[in-house]
Chain A
Amino acid sequence: MNQHPPSLARKFFQLIAGAAHVDDLLGDLDEWFYINLKTQSPRKAKLLYWKQVLSLSLSYAMKKRKRDARFSNYSSSSFSVDMLRNYVKVAFRNLYQYKYFSILNAFGLAIGMSISLLMIALISFVSTYDNFHKNKENIYTVISTQREGIEEKAYATAPLVLADKLQSEFTGAEKVVRIVKGSNLVKTEKENIPVNAYYVDPNFFSVFSFKLVQGHATSLSKPNQVILTRSAAKKLLNEENVIGKTMELTDGKMFEIAGLMEDHPNNSHLSFEILISLPTLPESKLSLQDQWTKFDRQYVYVLLNDKATRNDLQSYLDDISKKTSAQSEIKVTFGQQQLEEIVMGPDLRQSIGVNWDTTGMLIFGAFAALILLPACFNYTNISIARALRRAKEIGLRKTMGGVSGQIFLQFITETIVITLLSLVGALLIFVVIRAEFQSMLVAGSTLDLSLTWRMVVLFILFAITTGFAAGIFPALHFAGLNPIQALKSKINTRGSSLQIRKILTVFQFALSFGFILSLVVFSKQYRYSLNFDFGFEKQNTVDVELHDVDPEQFRTAFTQLASVRSISMSSGLLGVNTSNTWIRDQQNDSTQVAQLFVDQNFIPNFDLEFLAGKNFPNEPWQRERYIIVNEEFLHAYNIEHPIDAIGKIYEVDGVDLEVVGVLKNFHYAPLNHPIRKFFFRMNPSHYAYANLQVTSTDAYTMFTQLESTWKQFPTTKKFIGKYFEDELNDAYQTYQVLLKVVGFLGLLAITISLLGMLGMVVYTSENKTKEVSIRKVMGANIRSIAFLLSKDYLKMMGVAIVVAVPATAFILSFLLPQIQYYSVQLSVWDVLISVFILLSLGLATITSQTYKTAMTNPAITLRSE
């Protein structure tokens, strides 16, 4: 017996086995070796030994023995409800025991989740759009793309004539509905009330599932018939018993009320108050010469029969597009959208109802995530940092047979308990901010964000998911603890996890800083826009909409008022709305130019500066002859000296006009448009506004005077007069919304990062009580101790600022010109103000805790040890 089993193979086997019990297998292997040695050569026996080692190493037996070795004898991997109950109980006890941290965590998570709740509510509502139609799978709307030259525009509209073609030529169409969108004024005794009207075909009701209460849909096949929704009936006639009554529109047409229907649900993309029979529209409007290229406000919906598919419809539309646009300059192609795709579909021009474009949703989602993730991270961070407190518990659980899966489950349960508690807080915030949020959205009024069961379920699922996301790292960390080290309270919290924590904290502060800086810059841009020098006088001017009042009569009546110094007329408001037209010089190049029709008083009244030439001649108007251009106009036509432009002739709208004056550049359009070439024209038939130069300082008396003067005119329209400066400023109201949003989100982000920091500072201070006491005994003063405790956080805030400044500057430099062409630049002052705000908030948070720790009497803490 001088031969021995190969020791390398045995060592290999032991290495594979690890802690598993394999004594019996090793014995068996040895026994086989000596058995083989009797019949085989030693070499062969060793080879067989190796083979058996490999065979066992790869076998299920080894796998199972290794798995068993991982757990204590008391372990059970089976899941029991009792254990779960215990986890929840322990979770509540822990929350109660460490109240301070629980409140910090719950508060932070509640804030973090609130925006996401809005997002979920919004998605939950938007996803239900148009789901109440019985035929929803088979209803399609025809959309169009118009290509003229290089310009391509996508529209939600389609020509009514296409509906006739579909009905007669396309076999897949079961029903086709034509809709023309109109907004009308209904005449009532007191005033004219605007209503949203759709002109529709009778089969509107058989294709869509709207509920008709009284009357018949067939009446819509006759002209001058109207069906009211309940709320329209209430609004217009103040009663519901309306059948057979008549209704008058302001254009003098009389309608018979043929039916009453329920209001359409909020989640309908078709949004109307009254339905008017389509034949009411004049014949000319239904079949114009250019009906295949001009179809504003016309919509076509098709209900396909069961045999037809979407592809059939599309290929029919492709065919017809080819035929119709063959001869015309404007190429129109048709496409289709399924009913339920309309609302979340691409942003089309002239969409019939609301449109929730996906990009906006994604941006909103990104913001929700930017608020939620830091809150989750705070939880993760504080939990891992405080692992030491739970170490003994985990060590004991593991020694008593707890397997890592169970520890993981315990901590995940704990996190989910806290996120569910936070959900209550988040829900409160949600309810508070919901109305404000709705008012900020363009289509907010059609939104219904009230709580439904579906939403509650989604919220709870969301809370659980959040709990999982926030709790997974701590849970994995605790599950992976070595019980021996845990029991000895020797947990290694150094290393990579600390590094990641620092990076994430820096990220949080960078985010907060970004919000603060954006807020500072946006408010600066808002102030800048309000005080912007437009290049004309904007004070002491009141604009009055002329409507159908004759400009000359208006002038005569209003100049008699003492408070009115002078009156000028214009087709639009300078700096707010101007129109565009085509201009052609001698070389026959047609280019676009902005224009405003004014009278001879306009330019002096607005104090515009002439570079050359003179104002429109002060003589009775006969025909249009002159234009007054701006500097940019000269640049566009390469005219060097303003004086050279005088007398040049341009063809506009088929008329030759002569330049009589050149004005210094001024902002004729809102600040989001650059100054381009522009001219003033004179033509009384275009006047829509009277601009009154007023002297009065008492606005109330003046407006009453103006209004009573207005009443002399035989018009049904109300007097609408506004200070010009207010109208200019109204254009920049988006900033108020923007400031509100950025401010609110910033507030949330900052609160979350401060809460996170507070948690960490409290924790470090608690842990360093002994160190602080010893330092104090050895003679350290309060300030140096406070600094010692704070310096890590100060450093992180410093890094955050260094990171955030270029990042925010980059984003803002891209964003600001997008919002407004004439925008402010980020200055050192903005950065300094933001740094000051962040640092003072941060320092207040840190020092509140560190000073408390530094002030403690060392005798007390040291004695208690």
Chain B
Amino acid sequence: MDLSRYTFKNHHMKVYLGEFEELVLLTIAVLGEEAYGVLIQKNIEERSNRPISIGALHSTITRLEEKGFLKSWVGGATKERGGRSKRYYEITQAGKKAVAETKSLRDELWDLSKIKLALK
């Protein structure tokens, strides 16, 4: 029996992305230049069909910023916000690499797993 297909490829993964972290990063990537607090939360809630707390979201954003996966800038005040500016987020190069690595790990596992057959 050929066992080689069960061996692990070395991905040099230095970072670990949690499920929610990945979700936030990808959503920010999807929203592009429009990514700010309210919109990110709305998007995630609608897409995943689950309520998330504003505290949890901003904690995750803060940690991703600390890890260097996100950068932010300030701008775009509107009337609904009482004239307060928005903070926009953008995924960094390191952030892109981290999501890509997570994805390739997933893909590899998908390729190897039996579920592949079931889905076909």
Q: Which chain B residue lies CB-closest to A65?
A: B62
In the bound complex, do residue A24 and residue B59 qualify as a contact, i.e. CB atoms below 8 Å apart? no
Q: Which residues of A in the span 588-603 have a Cβ within 8 Å of any Cβ on B? A: none
For the complex, is B77 an interface residue (Cβ under 8 Å from A)? yes
Specify which chain B residues have a CB less than 8 angstroms from the CB of A55 in the assembled complex. Answer: 53-56
Cβ–Cβ contact A31 & B56, under 8 A: no
Instruction: Give the number of residues in A that approach B within 8 Å (Cβ atoms).
Output: 24
Contacts of B85 in A (CB 8 A): 23-24, 27
Interface of A is mostly: helix
Q: Are A28 and B54 closer than 8 Å at their CB atoms?
A: yes
A782 part of interface (Cβ distance < 8 Å): no
Chain A residues with CB below 8 A from B82, complex form: 26-27, 30
Task: Give the Cβ gap from B74 to chain A, nearest Cβ, in Å.
Answer: 7
Q: Mark B46-68, 1 if CB is under 8 A from A, else 0.
A: 00000001111011011100100
Question: A34 — which chain B residues lie within 8 A by C-beta?
Answer: 80
Separation in Å of the B79 CB from the closest CB of chain A?
9
Q: Is B84 interfacial (CB 8 A cutoff)? A: yes
Residue of A24, A29, A35 touching B86 (CB-CB under 8 A): A24
A60-B62, A60-B63, A64-B66 are known contacts. Are A27 and B86 too (CB-CB below 8 A)? yes
In the assembled complex, how far is the CB of residue A57 from the closest CB belonging to chain B, in whole angstroms?
8
Partner of B37 from the list A25, A57, A62 (CB cut-off 8 Å) is A25
How many residue pairs bridge A and B at CB < 8 Å?
Answer: 70
Q: Is B55's CB under 8 angstroms from A56's CB?
A: yes
Q: Quick check: is A32 within 8 A (CB to CB) of the other chain?
A: yes
The answer to whether B74 and A30 have CB atoms under 8 Å apart is no
Distance between A865 CB and nearest chain B CB, rounded to angstroms: 50
Contacts of B81 in A (CB 8 A): 27-28, 30-31
Output the least CB separation between A384 and chain B (Å): 38
Chain B residues within an 8 Å CB radius of A57: 55
Within 8 A of B (CB), among A47-67: 52, 54-62, 64-65
Q: Is B87 an interface residue (CB 8 A)?
A: yes
Could you tell me the distance between the alpha carbons of A54 and B77 in the complex, rounded to whole angstroms? 24
Q: Taking the complex as formed, is B118 at the interface, i.e. its CB lies under 8 A from any CB of chain A? A: no
Q: Of all chain B residues, which has the CB nearest A5?
A: B82
A24 touches B80 (CB 8 A): no
Smallest beta-carbon distance B66→chain A, Å: 7
Instruction: Convert A54-84 into 0s and 1s, putting 1 for each residue whose CB lies closer than 8 angstroms to a CB of B.
Output: 1111111110110000000000000000000
Question: Which residues of A are found within 8 Å of B58, using beta-carbon distances?
Answer: 25, 56, 59, 61-62
Q: Does B38 contact A (CB under 8 A)?
A: yes
Q: How far is the CA of A64 from the CA of B63 in the complex (A)?
A: 9
Chain B residues 15-39 with CB under 8 Å of chain A are: 36-38
Q: How far is the CA of A791 from the CA of B87 in the complex (A)?
A: 63
B61, A61: Cβ atoms under 8 Å? Answer: yes
Question: Is B56 within 8 A of A59, CB to CB?
Answer: yes
> How does the 8 Å CB contact mask read for A7-35 relative to B, with 1 for contact and 0 for none?
00000000000000001111111111011
CB of A31 within 8 A of CB of B54, answer: no
Most-contacted residue by chain A among B37, B55, B81 (CB, 10 A) = B55
C-alpha gap A26/B84 in the complex (Å): 7
Q: Which residues of A contact B74 (CB under 8 A)?
A: 23-24
Closest to B88 in A: A24
What B residues does A64 contact at CB under 8 A?
62, 66
- Give A31 Cβ to nearest chain B Cβ, in Å: 5
CB proximity of A814 to chain B, nearest CB, Å? 63
* B77 surroundings in chain A (CB, below 8 A): 27
Bound Cα distance A60, B66 (Å): 12
A91-131 vs B, Cβ < 8 Å mask (1 yes, 0 no): 00000000000000000000000000000000000000000
Q: Which 7 A-B pairs have the closest CB atoms?
A: A27-B84, A55-B55, A59-B55, A61-B58, A27-B81, A24-B87, A60-B59
B residues apposed to A, CB below 8 Å = 36-38, 53-56, 58-59, 61-63, 66, 74, 77-78, 80-82, 84-87
Q: Could you list 26 A-B pairs, sorted by A, with CB under 8 Å?
A: A23-B74, A24-B36, A24-B86, A26-B84, A27-B84, A28-B37, A29-B54, A30-B81, A31-B38, A31-B81, A35-B38, A52-B53, A52-B54, A52-B55, A54-B55, A55-B53, A55-B54, A58-B55, A59-B56, A59-B58, A60-B62, A60-B63, A61-B59, A61-B61, A62-B58, A64-B66
Apart from A28-B36, A29-B54, A62-B58, 5 more pairs, CB < 8 Å: A25-B58, A52-B55, A61-B55, A61-B59, A64-B62
